[in-house]
Amino acid sequence: MEAFAQQPDDELAQLQELSNKWESDASGPLVSERVSSSAITTEYANADPVYQAKTATLPQKYAQYRTCRGDGHCGWRAVAFSYFETLQRMGNPHKFLEEETRLKSLRNILNDAGFQEHLYEDFAEDMFDLLRETAAANDGGASLLQTFNDPHRSMSVITYLKLLTSAWIQKHPDQFQPFLHQPVKAYCQSHIEPAICEIEHVGMDALVNVLVKPAGIAVEILYLDRTPGTEVNTYRFDPVDHNNAALPNPPTFRLLYRPGHYDILYKLEDLPSIVPPPIAHPAEQRVFLNHHQSTQALPSKLPFDTNNFEIPGLSIFSGPAVSGPGVAWAPYPTYDFSASPISPQPIAQPITQAIPQPRIEATPAYAPIAAPPPPPVSIPTEYYSTTMPLEPPVTSLPLYQPSPIDRGGPFRPSIWEYESYSMPQAPHPPLCQTAIFRNSHYNTAHFNNPDFEPEQWQPDTEYNPSDRSRKKSSHSQ
């Protein structure tokens, strides 16, 4: 009987020894990228029905999560990473300086707990360096994630936080002793300070009180356990002000606790907003067309608006833009536009997108008068610019489809004959002075002639001495 009773004790001792030597086969990154929280639901698809029900509701409130490697530091790592990430999300560079100053002031607590300064100053300096680097970074947290996946730097930060948590617990023994089954100092030496030691509830409470809440950050911990219900239990740590009142709407990070493991949860509002890159639009080309309105030769009706007339590539003058109708510049020779007497064409819809202008050979503005006019330039409607440089206001110019000009119809003055309208010329001599032609509409002196010109009186013709002598001789006979 004694041998039989002794055997279970030996087995328990052996099992305890195996348990102490067991190490988890941890793999994967120390802190992963954000992934969809629906992966948690898939992970527990074949688990206990309570876990299935609770994990099925997680994606409805929490969009994404990060996994932390379960190497005995996942809780410390989750709090440390979330602390830096939340500070970066707040977008206040001065907050990092405030936190560095505050943490440096906690050196007295470390010294009072018996930690020698030359033993922890390297860990503290790594913590302060990471605060400065995160404040200067503008990469959406990429460098922070890279730092926490560096085993040496991340363990240095975690070691500093462990020492700070141990000193805080020893500084406030009355707050934590009721929850411990051993003296405070012994608990810290066995459950807080060792290199490989996962965080417990007492350590989590102390870490939040010394690191997170004084920074004005709230923490929510969701416990995924087998308690009744379809939703996980949530415990919240709210920061307080100097009057011990909870701060309104503080920045918050969230942790998911599964037995022996911590991960990081994100709501949709916790995710950084994605700003779309600016769309590069082609530069709008603006063409300035300077013209002069003449009251002598400009037709009364044109099939387009001459005040807002704009043709890409045709700029007659290099002077300033026209600011209103009737504007002229004396130093520049001006030419009027004349249109054939045709019915106006329907107006096309304005084009809303500017298209690069093609190279168009325009008619030279200073061509000789005697040179034959070049053929008309046909400009495609799709290359019209829609931006008017005239001010005020900036308007869109409707397109006008030019029609073929009929030069064989009724009388039409040409733009190359402008000088005949603006400069005085000698009167044309009559073609014939017979009585029948003088009363015909083909006579330019007749009022029905399109080129009607009143006949001018010529005294030399009326009072020719030779004619007078001829008339006298005829009467004498």
Q: List the helix and strand counts (H, then E) for the chain.
A: 16, 6
Decide if 188 contacts 170 (C-beta within 8 A).
Answer: yes
Give helix 151-171 / helix 117-136 axis angle, nearest 10°: 120
pLDDT digit string, tens, across residues 408-430: 555 555 555 545 444 555 555 55
The strand pairing partners of 221, in sequence order, are: 235, 255
Which token pair is 377? 């330039």
For the chain, the domains span 25-270, 281-362+379-418
Residue 384 CA, chain-centre distance (Å), reads 29
Active site residues: 71, 74, 261
Write down the pTM of the prediction: 0.56
Cα 339 to Cα 160, 291, 309, 320, distances in angstroms:
88, 15, 14, 25
For residue 192, the tally of other CB atoms under 10 A from its CB is 25
The strand pairing partners of 263, in sequence order, are: 256
pLDDT digit string, tens, across residues 194-220: 988 889 999 999 999 999 999 999 999
Decide if 342 contacts 303 (C-beta within 8 A).
Answer: yes
Q: Is the peptide bond before 413 cis (omega within 30 degrees of 0)?
A: no
Distance CA 397, CA 240 (A): 63
Four-residue CA torsion sign, 72, 75, 78, 84? negative
In three-state secondary structure terms, 255 is strand
Distance CA 317, CA 365 (A): 8
CATH 1.20.1300.20 holds for 25-270: yes
Q: Which distant-in-sequence residues (6+ apart) come within 8 Å of 219 by Cβ? A: 79, 82, 208, 212, 213, 236, 237, 252, 253, 254, 255
Give helix 151-171 / helix 184-191 axis angle, nearest 10°: 170
Decide if 285 contacts 312 (C-beta within 8 A).
Answer: yes
User: Which residue bears the tokens 């099939």?
Assistant: 303
pLDDT of the chain, 477 residues: tens digit per residue: 444 344 567 776 776 666 555 555 567 899 999 999 999 999 999 888 999 999 999 999 999 999 999 888 999 999 999 999 999 999 999 999 999 999 999 999 999 999 999 999 999 999 999 999 999 998 989 999 999 999 999 999 999 999 999 999 999 999 999 999 999 999 999 999 998 888 999 999 999 999 999 999 999 999 998 888 888 999 999 999 988 898 999 999 999 999 889 999 999 888 876 545 555 454 444 444 444 444 444 444 444 454 444 444 444 444 444 444 444 444 444 444 444 444 444 444 544 444 455 454 444 444 444 455 555 555 444 444 444 444 455 555 555 555 555 555 555 555 555 454 445 555 555 555 676 667 777 777 776 777 777 767 777 766 665 555 555 555 544
Instruction: Tell me whether strands 252-258 and 218-223 are parallel, antiparallel or unpaired.
Output: parallel
User: Which residue bears the tokens 């977008």?
Assistant: 91
Q: How far apart, in Å, do the first and last CA atoms of the chain sit?
A: 190
